[in-house]
Structure 1
Amino acid sequence: MTQDSGAAQHPIPPAVQEAYGPGDLSSTALFGGGYTNFGYWHGIDLGRPLTEQDRISSQRALYRHVLGALAPTDGLRALEVGCGLGAGCAVALEEYGFAHVTGMDIHPQQLERAGQANAGLLARTPARLRFARGAAEKMPFGEGSFDRLYSVEAAQHFRDLGAFAREAARVVRPGGRVVVASFFIPDTDETRAGRLAELLDTFASGLDVAHTIPLLTSSLEQAGLTSIRATSIGSSVWPGWDRWLSGMWAPGTWPRNFLRAYHEGTLDYFTVTAERPTA
């Protein structure tokens, strides 16, 4: 089932509206299997021609990396913020034993696609999966509604990390855990944002926001979360992503600049974990 809410009527940035609406980024050859992320390529041989199955495996592996950081998960209730087509929600249910998973996304067209893509799972386990419309900065759920909250490659679209952190801390119960995986500027160097706009069209267009990892971790701390840890996983993301892009984009074209930005120290990929204290 799909739930809508008045709280979900948060403005969708124009670039996000286009990319995940008419543009349907998830249907492009860059992605596959219903996932929309750069992939976690650890263990995949990058020295041979990559297949579509390698690509799908990398995207699923990123979800497994994040979901594994939420353990224990059996019998718990989880929220995915920025669920896209819901492929990650299916992994969470089928492989990690959650009692219930809610996939939330700001884009109504993505939620329609998620319902279609997961029609069989919804029919088989109607009490364990739902999709809801809502913004990361204003979630349509009560306090302490979830045991676990995770977000995979969506935080680069959030316009207000402080609001997201406060909402995450609110909807997760005391003792609950939050995991965010996405790409961020690794430090507070004020020149980094301009450089990203020079290198990468997604930052220049406003699809992605040049957030810093210190801003995210400090926002989580200010929201009352503890045990905050940011871990770089760039070495398992960027070389594989660029290797996959090399079959579609020539050297020097803008998508290949993700790896360049990583090598420059301008951009990296992180897994960030945090907990809501029990008292």
Structure 2
Amino acid sequence: MTQETGPAPLPMAPAVRETYGPDDLSSTPGFAGGFINFGHWQGIDLDRPLTEEDRIRSQRAMYRHVLGSLAPAVGLSALEVGCGLGMGCAAALEEYGFGRVTGMDIHPQQLERARRAQSRLLADSPERLRFVHGAAEKMPFDDAGFDRVYSVEAAQHFRDLDAFARETARVLRPGGRAVVTSFFVPDADPARTGQLADLLDSFARGLDVAHSVPELTGSLERSGLTGIRVTAIGASVWPGWDRWLSARWEPGTWPRNFLRAYHEGLLDYYTVTADRPTP
């Protein structure tokens, strides 16, 4: 049974509650278009002033990068973990031919915004799109309910990667595939947490968690998922993100430090793919 109303199944960190609630990150100029990701900037000319159209294109390209990794997709069911305003859910239906897409988010206000943003799709195809209140670590779905599970720039907010991986494996059907893309620490050095908090306010105030790639892949392996593949895509993310920020933020201010963290080897952006084996 799904749970679409009521309190969040797990408590949110205060910074997450504020950022995606009253502060409404999706309404800020940095995240124009409502996709809420740093962007995949490959193919966008960074040597000229960037436009809002470029910014939206970069964010849509991030979703295309992820959704393309889920192929084949036509007619299949998918779950987006941390769906935000549902822009990626709409792309999955309209561009990739998924049969049914469920967007799940822990924040009730985000779900309200998603239902408004996707009101046309919900009205035209209520059997193909739904939004559900739930947490990555405790998903309100039956076992083996989805052919695909994906998450775009949300895993940095998850508090328990082991629980997320177990739930992902549980809700995937045998033969199903999961894709996670977000920013992670490249290695297991425990010093990275403090180093990132010194550079980046989002880590210092608890919005983002300094998860490492080895931590994520270990969680996926322990959950029983196989065929785990890790691809670093930071070269297509960080320079473009910094170039976009440069119109609003001075060098040395904390948002510009994402590029510095990348150059210093403290942080990178990854796509991680895993499969649920068939019996």
Q: Same fold (TM over 0.5)?
A: yes
Partner of residue 196, structure 2: 196
1:36-51 matches, within 5 Å, as 36-51=36-51
Aligned mates of 1:269, 1:229 — CA distance in 2: 14
Equivalent AA in structure 2 for residue 164 of structure 1: F
1: CA distance, partners of 2:25 / 2:275:
32
| 2:41 corresponds to 1:28 | no
1:63 positional shift: 0.1
Q: Distance in 1 between matches of 2:129 and 2:186?
A: 35
- String of CA shifts for 1:147-176, please: whole Å, max 9, x gaps: 000000000000000000000000000000
**Alpha-carbon distance in 2 for matches of 1:259, 1:152:** 19
Q: Which residue of 2 aligns with 1:153?
A: 153
Counterpart CA distance in 2 for 1:240 and 1:204 is: 24
Summarize deviations over 1:200-249 as a string: whole Å, max 9, x none.
Answer: 00000000000000000010000000000111000000000000000010
Matches within 5 A, 1:91-106: 91-106=91-106
Letter of the 2:64 counterpart: R
CA separation in 2, counterparts of 1:224 and 1:34?
34
3-state DSSP class of the match of 2:104?
strand
Residues 237-269 of structure 1 show CA distances to partners (whole Å, capped at 9, x for unaligned) of 000000000001000100000000000000000
The corresponding residue for 1:130 is 130
Is the CA contact (8 Å cut-off) linking 2:8 and 2:107 kept in structure 1?
no
* Whole-Å separation in 2 of the counterparts to 1:261 and 1:10: 30
Task: Provide the rounded CA distance (Å) in 2 between the counterparts of 1:152 and 1:186.
Answer: 18
Q: Distance in 2 between matches of 1:12 and 1:271?
A: 25
Shift of 1:7: 8.4
**Aligned pairs (5 A) from 1:1-279:** 4=4, 8-279=8-279
Q: Does the CA-based 8 Å contact 1:5-1:140 persist in structure 2?
A: no
CA distance in 1, matches of 2:228, 2:40: 22
1:6 to partner: Cα distance: 6.3
Q: Offset at 1:3?
A: 5.2
Amino acid at match of 2:252: G
Cα-Cα RMSD: 1.1
Aligned equivalents of 1:260, 1:114: Cα separation in 2: 33
Cα distance between partner residues in 2 of 1:132 and 1:230 = 29
Normalized against structure 2, the TM-score is what?
0.98
CA offset digits 1:94-119 (Å, max 9, x no partner): 00000000000000000000000000
Q: How far apart, CA to CA, are the structure 2 residues paired with 1:207 and 1:154?
A: 11
Distance 1:150 1:7, change over 3 A: farther
Amino acid at match of 1:137: E
Q: TM-score, normalised by structure 1?
A: 0.98
Q: Which residue type is aligned with residue 25 of structure 2?
A: L
Cα deviation for residue 8 of structure 1 reads 4.1
Q: Report SS of the residue matched to 1:112.
A: helix
Q: In the TM superposition, what is the alpha-carbon distance from 1:72 to its structure 2 partner? A: 0.2
Which one-letter code corresponds to 1:117 in the other structure? A
| Structure 1 position 4, deviation (Å) | 1.6
Aligned mates of 1:209, 1:177 — CA distance in 2:
25
Q: Is the 8 A contact 1:7 1:138 kept in 2?
A: no
Could you list the runs of 5+ residues in structure 2 that have no partner in the other structure?
none
Does the 8 Å contact 1:262/1:268 carry over to 2? yes
Cα distance in 2 between the residues matched to 1:222 and 1:5: 31
- Secondary structure at 2:162's aligned position in 1? helix
Shift of 1:93: 0.4
1:6–1:144 distance in 2 versus 1, CA, 3 Å: farther
What amino acid maps onto 2:101 in structure 1?
Answer: V
- Aligned-partner SS, 1:148: strand
Q: Partners of 2:130 and 2:241 in 1: how far apart? A: 31
Which residue identity is paired with 1:46?
L
How far apart are residue 12 of structure 1 and its match?
Answer: 1.0
- Whether the aligned pair in 1 keeps the contact of 2:234 and 2:268 (CA below 8 Å) is yes
Q: How far off its partner does 1:9 sit?
A: 2.3
CA contact (8 A) 2:77 2:98 kept: yes
Tell me, yes or no, if the aligned pair for 1:78 and 1:148 is still in contact at 8 Å.
yes
Provide the secondary structure at the position in 2 that maps to 1:30: helix
**Residues in 2 aligned to 1:264 and 1:16: alpha-carbon distance in whole angstroms:** 26
Instruction: Please say if residues 8 and 140 of structure 1, whose CA atoms lie closer than 8 Å, have aligned partners that are also in contact.
Output: no
Provide the C-alpha distance between the structure 1 equivalents of 2:7 and 2:71, rounded to a whole number of angstroms.
30
